[in-house]
A and B are shown apart, each in its own frame.
Chain A
Amino acid sequence: MRLSSTRKTAISAYNFEQPLPMSSSTSSPPHRPPGSGEIVAGCLSPHPPHLVYASNPQQNEPKSSGAGAWKSLLDGYQSLRKSLEDREFDVIVVHTPHWKTRVGHHFLGVPNFEGLSVDPIFPNLFRFHFDLQVDVPLAEAIQEEAAQEGLVTSMMRNPEFRVDYGTITSSYLVRPELDVPIVAISSARSYFDYSNEVGEREMLALGRATRRAVEQSGRRALLLASCSLSHRHFTEEPEDPEDPAFEHIHNGNQEAWDRHVMRLMQEGQCAQLLEQMPDFIEQAVSECKDGSLTWLLGALDVPDFPATVHGYGTVIGTGNAVVEWDMRKAHVQAGDQA
């Protein structure tokens, strides 16, 4: 075995005027002045690697049987992608539960990551060759704003770091071309180290910081909260993991909570959802304990307009919803016709 010290990668100066490293989602973005950035949409985009597996992209080594266990979620993602076609975005900002950090909130800070990501939990399903561009200036800006909020933060500068499969999976399912730069934010363990209430406060602050940084950057950003709702797994897998006969919710309590939470989203009752979040987390063993959904709601200024639920389904017993908040609806609601 050998050890190598971290090779420091030269990071371009924090300068929003500089062109983005990649073109926008559909065409080259108009050059927008600092201060004119916006969040175009926020999505709950769960990351079961099973969905990548079932999609059979060329980058993923295992090939699925096509037996169809997760069709409702795949259809949900397809519907989300279709819905997003009429908006352009320059960057995808992902909050991921599968980069778990105990010392504050971390941000990818290297411009490009390339390699093989093998899921340590489902290696039979996810061995994905990835090539991701990172919007480092925006990541640094969010980090600075988060520090202003009093959060502990860190930029991740080690070029050999392996990007977690939550980031890759959600990015892929929303944008299979993977041609839009990303910002990836780790999941700080505040809920686990302190309490759900402490975690919630931190994630709302991180959301506010994200929104401010996006606005100041001139970027048009798509935000992804990469988590499931209820999150109790079965601990065994059928011979064909995609066998629909096996797939169902772990227990009725979980689904009842999931449906309640989705109804609040559809009714624009996110303030109420946040009030109930600590109970939801405990009673449904929710992956929202990793903070992604609360971060998103904070970044979207706690939506009071209806979300679109594009799909709901289970993966190995967990409850997953694909949900979109189209920020044009927020502007309409606020009387802003711009």
Chain B
Amino acid sequence: MSAKGKIVGSFVVPSRPHALLAPDRSPAWQRLHDAYGEMAADIRALKPDLLLIFSTRWVSIIGHQMQADPKPKFWVVDEDFHELGTLHYDLNIDADFAEHYRDAAQARGLTARTVAYEGFPIDVGSITALNLLNPDGAISAGIVSCNIYSDRAETLVLGKAAADAVAASGKRVVAISVTALSNRMFTEWINPAQDSIHSAKDDEWNRKLLELLEQGRLEDVSQLAREFSRQANGDSKLKAIWWLASLSGQSNDYRGKVYAYEPIWGTGAALVGLTPQAGAGGDLEYDEDDTEVFRGDRNVLATDASEPAAKSS
């Protein structure tokens, strides 16, 4: 393809499987399930060539992993909610894109690798999203992991590397962040029909974030992520939002749509869509740094002789 690829839509979906496996057990989960259907239709209307997912449920330690098995076919069971059943999957992954994404990440200083192994446990969050948004697998997908040590700078670079790969691909790409908002769960067995957000405080913060997203202010939400995570126990520091905002161009120029906001076992589960709209964003409230290239961990405690320590004199 010769034309430059682009992000045609950016979406946020929950990380837990309840809306897929047990919508009938809770009115809240049923509303989420229905909202996935509406979001799926909107995504199809964007005519994407690729759904690119960042999932907080796929953690990595060695840098960043990109799924590159073109036809992964296996199954996965949720660690907590095994009683809800098994998720069998048979996916359509764009392995070429995974390799280009890996190369783009490495070019920006990140450690990155593709994985393609039979029986690799693709995470519950990605499987849930793909099952509900792309049930027939008609659109090919990409999935990237969430490094447990990466902070904002590294995650922004991972997003920019995705943007590089998207531009070079010539494809129309929908970016999807699989993440909870507030991530405090009930730690006991509850009646699903009475599921609720864990606390009023978490609920209030979730609603503030969604209010901004509905106004299309994705970059503002990215800038607010640290405070949100401190206040409302954000899922994985809201790395998925950092990645999404960075990949989507670090602006507030979107039309926002909140499809649903409901609890899943106390966590904030939201379905949000952002489509590019020039000039929509207005003033930006930026105060975080921006980073283009990752320059590695700064292991200031290293004692290994091979790593030169700073000398004071």
Residues of A within 8 A of B (CB): 1-6, 99-104, 106, 115-118, 120-124, 127, 152, 154, 156-158, 160-162, 186, 188-190, 193, 233-237, 248-253, 316
B186 within 8 A of A: yes
User: Which chain A positions have C-beta within 8 A of B54?
Assistant: none
Give Cα A5–Cα B121 distance, bound, in whole angstroms: 19
User: Which chain B positions have C-beta within 8 A of A124?
Assistant: 115
User: Which chain B positions have C-beta within 8 A of A106?
Assistant: 79-80, 82
A6 touches B121 (CB 8 A): no
Q: Besides the contacts A3-B88, A4-B85, A235-B63, what 5 more A-B pairs have beta carbons closer than 8 Å?
A: A121-B60, A236-B62, A236-B111, A237-B62, A251-B302
Interface string of B106-132 (1 = CB under 8 A from A): 000001000101111101000100110
Q: How far is the CB of B54 from chain A (nearest CB, A)?
A: 15
Classify chain B's interface size.
35 or more
Give Cα A195–Cα B280 distance, bound, in whole angstroms: 43
A160 touches B62 (CB 8 A): no
User: Which chain A positions have C-beta within 8 A of B153?
Assistant: none
Q: How far is the CB of A313 from chain B (nearest CB, A)?
A: 15
Interface centre among B87, B115, B121 (most CB of A within 10 A): B121
A-B pairs with CB below 8 Å: how many?
131
Q: Do A235 and B118 contact each other (CB < 8 Å), given the known contacts A102-B185, A103-B80, A103-B188?
A: no
Give Cα A250–Cα B302 distance, bound, in whole angstroms: 7
Give Cα A249–Cα B62 distance, bound, in whole angstroms: 16
Q: How far is the CB of A155 from chain B (nearest CB, A)?
A: 9
Give Cα A83–Cα B21 distance, bound, in whole angstroms: 47
Q: How far is the CB of A46 from chain B (nearest CB, A)?
A: 15
B83 touches A101 (CB 8 A): no
Q: How far is the CB of A238 from chain B (nearest CB, A)?
A: 11
User: Which chain B positions have C-beta within 8 A of A117?
Assistant: 119
A160 touches B75 (CB 8 A): yes
Give Cα A93–Cα B295 distance, bound, in whole angstroms: 43
A193 touches B120 (CB 8 A): no
B231 within 8 A of A: no
Q: Do A121 and B187 contact each other (CB < 8 Å), given the known contacts A3-B87, A158-B82, A236-B111?
A: no
Give Cα A186–Cα B120 distance, bound, in whole angstroms: 21
The 8 lowest CB-CB distance pairs between A and B, nearest first, are A251-B301, A252-B303, A116-B119, A158-B82, A160-B86, A236-B111, A161-B77, A118-B119
Q: Do A116 and B187 contact each other (CB < 8 Å), given the known contacts A2-B88, A121-B62, A236-B111?
A: no
A235 touches B82 (CB 8 A): no
A4 touches B86 (CB 8 A): yes
Picked from B76, B115, B184, B188, the residue with its CB within 8 Å of the CB of A162 is: B76
A3 touches B189 (CB 8 A): no
B299 within 8 A of A: yes
B121 touches A162 (CB 8 A): yes
B301 touches A252 (CB 8 A): yes
25 contacts between A and B (CB under 8 A): A1-B87, A1-B88, A1-B89, A2-B88, A6-B84, A6-B85, A99-B79, A100-B79, A101-B80, A102-B80, A102-B265, A122-B62, A127-B117, A152-B187, A157-B83, A158-B77, A160-B86, A161-B77, A162-B77, A162-B121, A235-B62, A235-B149, A249-B303, A251-B299, A252-B301
Give Cα A70–Cα B251 distance, bound, in whole angstroms: 48
Q: Is the interface of A mostly helix, strand, loop or mixed?
A: loop
User: Which chain A positions have C-beta within 8 A of B187?
Assistant: 102-104, 152, 188-190, 193
User: Which chain B positions have C-beta within 8 A of A103?
Assistant: 80, 185-189, 265
B135 within 8 A of A: yes
A6 touches B76 (CB 8 A): no
Give Cα A312–Cα B172 distance, bound, in whole angstroms: 52
A158 touches B86 (CB 8 A): yes
Give Cα A144–Cα B121 distance, bound, in whole angstroms: 31
Picked from A101, A233, A251, the residue with its CB within 8 Å of the CB of B61 is: A233
Closest Cβ neighbor of A6 among chain B residues: B85
B287 within 8 A of A: no
Q: How far is the CB of A11 from chain B (nearest CB, A)?
A: 14
Q: Do A123 and B88 contact each other (CB < 8 Å), given the known contacts A235-B63, A250-B299?
A: no
Q: Do A156 and B147 contact each other (CB < 8 Å), given the known contacts A103-B185, A123-B120?
A: no
A123 touches B63 (CB 8 A): no
Picked from B121, B185, B188, B265, the residue with its CB within 8 Å of the CB of A120 is: B121
Give Cα A291–Cα B297 distance, bound, in whole angstroms: 28
Give Cα A161–Cα B89 distance, bound, in whole angstroms: 14
B289 within 8 A of A: no
B120 touches A120 (CB 8 A): yes
Q: How far is the CB of A127 from chain B (nearest CB, A)?
A: 6
A1 touches B90 (CB 8 A): yes
B117 touches A123 (CB 8 A): yes
B302 touches A186 (CB 8 A): no
Closest Cβ neighbor of A122 among chain B residues: B62
Picked from A160, A162, A233, A253, the residue with its CB within 8 Å of the CB of B149 is: A233
Q: How far is the CB of A292 from chain B (nearest CB, A)?
A: 16
Closest Cβ neighbor of A285 among chain B residues: B149
B37 within 8 A of A: no
User: Which chain B positions have C-beta within 8 A of A120?
Assistant: 58-60, 120-121, 123
Closest Cβ neighbor of A254 among chain B residues: B301
Q: How far is the CB of A38 from chain B (nearest CB, A)?
A: 31
User: Which chain A positions have C-beta within 8 A of B120?
Assistant: 118, 120, 123
User: Which chain B positions have C-beta within 8 A of A193?
Assistant: 184-185, 187
Picked from A116, A121, A235, the residue with its CB within 8 Å of the CB of B111 is: A235
B304 within 8 A of A: yes
B76 touches A104 (CB 8 A): no
B170 within 8 A of A: no
Q: Do A158 and B83 contact each other (CB < 8 Å), given the known contacts A152-B187, A251-B301?
A: yes
B137 within 8 A of A: yes
Give Cα A324–Cα B234 distance, bound, in whole angstroms: 39
